[in-house]
Amino acid sequence: MDPLAWFFNDADVGRATMAAPIEDLEPPVLVVNYKVYPTALGERALSLTRELEEAAASYPDATLAIAPSHPDVGAVAQASDLPVLAQHADGHRPGSGTGRVLPESLSDRGAIGSLINHAERQVTEKEANRSVDRLTEKGMAVIACAEDVEVTRTMASLEPTYVAMEPPELIGGDVSVTSADPGIIEDSLEAAQEIDPDARILCGAGVKDAEDVAKARDLGAEGVLVASGVTKAEDPTQAARDLLRGAVEPAATLEGSEK
C-alpha cells in the first residue's frame, strides 16, 4: 500500500454521520499522559510503556491507554499493544500548515486517537470543533478536556469519545478532584448529558490512588486521566496497578485497604 495513500483520500465525512469511536477505549479506562516529563521521553518512554504493559496485564477488564509526546508516538505504538493517543491534534488538512499535527500522520504512526484542549494545550472552540471533525472522519478516538462545567458542556456538543474534566488548579497536585470538588464531576456529567445523552466523561487532576479512581467511578466518570502520579512514581508499574484496581473494584472495598 502506498504509504501516502491517506494524503489523497480525504473525504469530508463529519460528525453528522460518524461519532467518535470508543472501541479501543472501552470503560473503565485509565489514560496515562506522558506529557514531556524527562522520565517519559525517548528511550525512557519505551521503558515506561513496558512497565505499564505489565500493569495492564494484571487488569484485563480495564483499558489502559497511553499518550506519549508527539516524537515518541510512532516508536511507542510500534513497540506496544496498548492504545496510543496523541497529546494534541490539529484540525488542518494536508497541505500548507507548518508545525501542525495532522490526524493522518498520527494514525499512520499507530495512534488510535488524541487528546484535545488539555489545560496545558488549550484551543478555541472553533479549533476544537475542527480537530474533533478531522479525528472523527479518520475513525480516531477523541478525549476532549474541559476545565469546568461550562467547558464540559461545550466539549460535549462536539460529540467526542470522552470529555475529560480536569480543574487546572488541581493538575499535578496532591489533592484529587474526587476529594477537593466531587460535585464538579457529577455536575459535569449532568451538563454533558443534557447536550448529548450518550456523553461519557473521565476526570483527572490530582488522581493518585485506587480510592480516587473508585470514587470517580461512583460519581459517574468512566475512568480517569493521570500523568505525574504514574510518570513520576518510583514504581510506575505498581502505581498503574493501584489505579487500575480502583477502576474495577468498588470504593467501599478499598477504603482503608493497603495498596
- Known catalytic residue at 166: yes
Cβ contact 84:112 at 8 Å: yes
- Known catalytic residue at 118: yes
**Residue 109's Cα: distance from chain center in Å?**
18
Of these residues, 51, 88, 118, 159, which one is catalytic? Answer: 118
Buried/exposed 46-67: b ≥16 CB within 10 Å, e otherwise: bebbebbbebbeebeebbbbbb
Quickly tell me which residue has 456529567 as its cell.
Answer: 189
> DSSP state, 8?
G
**Complete domains list, the chain, with CATH:** 25-251 (3.20.20.70)
pLDDT per residue, tens digit, the chain (259 aa), is: 444 444 444 444 344 335 566 788 999 999 999 999 999 999 999 999 999 999 999 999 999 999 999 999 999 999 999 999 999 999 989 888 888 999 999 999 999 999 999 989 999 999 999 999 999 999 999 999 999 999 999 999 999 999 999 887 767 667 677 777 788 899 999 999 999 999 999 998 878 899 999 999 999 999 999 999 999 999 999 999 999 999 999 876 776 555 4
Of these residues, 51, 166, 211, 222, which one is catalytic? Answer: 166
pTM (two decimals): 0.89
The CA distance from 111 to 31, in Å, is 14
